């Protein structure tokens, strides 16, 4: 009988400890998700022209080259979002996107600030990629302040 009670007590302890640990892990995940960060969001549809593809390629290259450490830590995030996919509808609606677009978004203290760089991107990504990359880096740096 003592062995059974001891076994039950051990099982109960392990079970409670697992629940507590999972709760802590979930809490850590939520804190990381809510952490201040800057996102570079490239939106596109199914059909993409050469300029659209240059925007994605050059924006990603600029972010990866200038913010490698921040990408690793999650302080900077680069996302490519296909607006033709159902799971991305709400995000496209949030930023009022209906075609290829580029946004730099700052998340700080639960507040969001965004810069629509679409016009700049279409004017420079293909014909002046160095100017475009510098502009993306400047926008991210400004949002990191």
pTM reported for the whole predicted model: 0.76
- 81 by DSSP, 3-state: which? strand
Q: Which helix (H) or strand (E) holds 63?
A: helix 50-66
Let me know: does 51 contact 61? Beta carbons within 8 Å: no
- Per-run averaged pLDDT (10 residues), the chain, 145 residues: 42 38 41 78 96 98 98 98 96 96 97 97 98 98 96
pLDDT for res 34: 59
Q: Which residues lie across from 104 on neighbouring strands?
A: 40, 115
Q: In the chain, helix, strand, coil percent, each to 5?
A: 60, 20, 20
């Amino acid at each position: 009988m003592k062995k059974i009670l001891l076994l039950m007590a051990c099982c109960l302890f392990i079970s409670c400890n697992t629940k507590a640990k999972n709760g802590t892990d979930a809490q850590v995940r939520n804190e990381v998700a809510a952490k201040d960060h800057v996102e570079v969001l490239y939106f596109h549809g199914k059909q993409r022209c050469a300029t659209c593809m240059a925007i994605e390629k050059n924006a990603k290259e600029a972010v990866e080259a200038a913010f490698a450490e921040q990408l690793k830590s999650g302080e900077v995030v680069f996302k490519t979002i296909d607006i033709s996919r159902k799971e991305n509808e709400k995000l496209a609606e949030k930023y009022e996107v209906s075609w290829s677009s580029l946004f730099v978004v700052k998340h700080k203290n639960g507040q969001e600030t965004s810069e629509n760089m679409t016009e700049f991107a279409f004017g420079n990504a293909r014909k002046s990629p160095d100017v475009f990359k510098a502009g993306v880096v400047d926008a991210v740096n400004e949002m990191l302040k």
